Structure 1
């Protein structure tokens, strides 16, 4: 299917990306991730989680891991096919106020729309509105990972940082507001528990609240595992997209993939109250393995079958439906 097929809209999502260790040179090469384009050529929109501060200055925060990358990484990701990025995560402000200032400046010049971080609460929760095949899409992002970044750098009415989903009140209000101005509302969350494939109770509750507020697609990462995915009411939920471009390449950390959601634009353009069907008509998981270079690639056929089965099994423990 061509990306401009007027009868279908394909949204593609991937997990966590950073440029640490042996991936550092990739961030300075505008075509360092160009091979990723072949993995999702039919997508109308491609989105992932950029889990790093965009700075070469600032003070390293006191925490187990700190990630950063130069501004050129944004061009690298644009040339990889990414059309949107979330930075609402526990590494978006790893280099303190100076690093945050640099990050926000880089975002203002970014060739790729970035959501979930801002100079204050209003901008961190503001949706980015994009269009694909005549469909208006609102993109939002927030983090629910309670650690140093959320504690020190949650955006407030008077200070910058990441959008916090603890509590969920502000995010739910942002989704409701976005519902009034877009055909499709997408929320990218940083949530869940490290190394767990089954969704935890808090993530399930958050997904339920966002579905009730009008979110059409709810996807997330953070656990470093591929989690369950399926339909929840009128929403499609993917609890864990795993790592994507990542410095560790030993299974199961190397299990990753691309989630492809097919939407009927005709249904999407209907007022939500008049929809009799879920707007996500089909979901496909494209299994990938992260190579020793930190970059995902298609596995052998036998591995692809095995990895797809593992994805289906993860959905069974997350309380979501396998069909709309």
Structure 2
């Protein structure tokens, strides 16, 4: 999908990203993605293959997304399912959201859960149309319809060929990073969840012999996954489902995990679960965001309707600038804010950093 150059310059705003710096030169699995050079020994027009130059890239992240309840009918027209926020997602070189639902029309609802979410496979058409390039299903709703729903989800992912992390036929597949080269930058993206219902941990956690989700509760396995992802990568992105619902400050276990994953090689840690935005900032050369809040979410109202898109500019393997583009969810869809409303929302978002221990700018 070709990037909208005008939109790219507009959303970049104070990040001083020009259309030339953020534009895409072609179509691939991610906007702005490039193909690898020809293998050694293959003809290349008389010249040796060269690695593409690394250009600055723009990443975009949205929060918890599903198409439950009143949102289901929006999948009847996947091209417009995300509403106006899709313009912002398309403006990034790579965009990612948390897909908080099983992809099935069957399966058995998980026992003991008050809320179970599922959506048909057309959700992948909606994600692609909105400019989303990769998603994580490692969350406390990814296996809401148990083993049958998992089989359907994996089959739908395979048919759609949509990059999806944090879920798989076994642990190796669930923890395996999605790798893509974007404007010469080799990215590796890992997804995992730190939130699982106690009675479902065993059934939902991927193992050597069982399909399921990548669990961040297994810290050594998570550290191993990040170390493996960092091999041959310029940028490692870790998407985490973590924190406590409606709690605006990160839990000690979130901070502890962030520290360990940064030490293992993570450059970007972005997550969700609280249903409200949390703070973000810089730590030890990495960028950490503790909670994106809801994004496309049917029951959002009041505080849980506060939403937005996080933009990160990456240069030479590091995040150099960040921007919060605020939105408010109406009818389940995030509507970008403008003017005084946007300014006030950004001020609130910046204030959320106070309890995170993160820095406002890279050191």
TM-score band (shorter)? over 0.9
Residue deviations 1:138-177, cap 9 Å, x none? 0100000131443421001000000001121111101001
Structure 2 residue 145 is matched with structure 1 residue 105: no
| 1:111 to partner: Cα distance | 4.3
Residue deviations 1:266-314, cap 9 Å, x none? x22xxxxxxxxxx1100111111111x2111112422211211111111
Counterpart CA distance in 2 for 1:149 and 1:15 is 23
Residue deviations 1:193-225, cap 9 Å, x none? 110111110000000000000000000000101
Aligned to 1:61: 110
Counterpart CA distance in 1 for 2:302 and 2:142 is 26
Counterpart CA distance in 2 for 1:40 and 1:116 is 21
| TM-score, scaled to structure 2 | 0.83
Counting only pairs closer than 5 Å after superposition, residues 275-314 of structure 1 correspond to structure 2 as 279-291=318-330, 293-314=331-352
Partner-residue secondary structure (3-state), 1:35: helix
Partner-residue secondary structure (3-state), 2:321: strand
| 1:29 to partner: Cα distance | 2.2
Aligned to 1:46: 95
Counting only pairs closer than 5 Å after superposition, residues 221-260 of structure 1 correspond to structure 2 as 221-260=272-311
Residue deviations 1:38-61, cap 9 Å, x none? 123431000010000000011111
* One of 77, 94, 97 as aligned partner of 1:29: 77
Question: Contact between 1:34 and 1:79, CA under 8 Å: does it hold in 2?
Answer: no
Question: Contact between 1:236 and 1:280, CA under 8 Å: does it hold in 2?
Answer: yes
Question: Contact between 2:83 and 2:333, CA under 8 Å: does it hold in 1?
Answer: no
Counterpart CA distance in 2 for 1:117 and 1:40 is 23
Counterpart CA distance in 1 for 2:133 and 2:89 is 12
Q: 1:149 to 1:36 in 2, by over 3 A?
A: farther
Residue deviations 1:87-106, cap 9 Å, x none? 00010111111111000001
Larger radius of gyration: 2
Residue deviations 1:89-145, cap 9 Å, x none? 010111111111000001112243000000000000000101111111001000001
* Unmatched 5+ stretches in structure 1: 269-278
Q: How many residues are matched? A: 311
Aligned to 1:272: none
Q: 1:143 to 1:18 in 2, by over 3 A?
A: same
Counting only pairs closer than 5 Å after superposition, residues 1-324 of structure 1 correspond to structure 2 as 1-2=18-19, 3-4=22-23, 7-31=55-79, 32-33=81-82, 35-62=84-111, 63-147=113-197, 148-264=199-315, 267-268=316-317, 279-291=318-330, 293-324=331-362
Partner-residue secondary structure (3-state), 1:124: helix
| TM-score, scaled to structure 1 | 0.93
Question: Contact between 2:170 and 2:211, CA under 8 Å: does it hold in 1?
Answer: yes
Aligned to 1:275: none
* Unmatched 5+ stretches in structure 2: 1-17, 25-53
Partner-residue secondary structure (3-state), 2:326: strand
Partner-residue secondary structure (3-state), 1:253: helix
RMSD: 1.3
| 1:28 to partner: Cα distance | 3.4
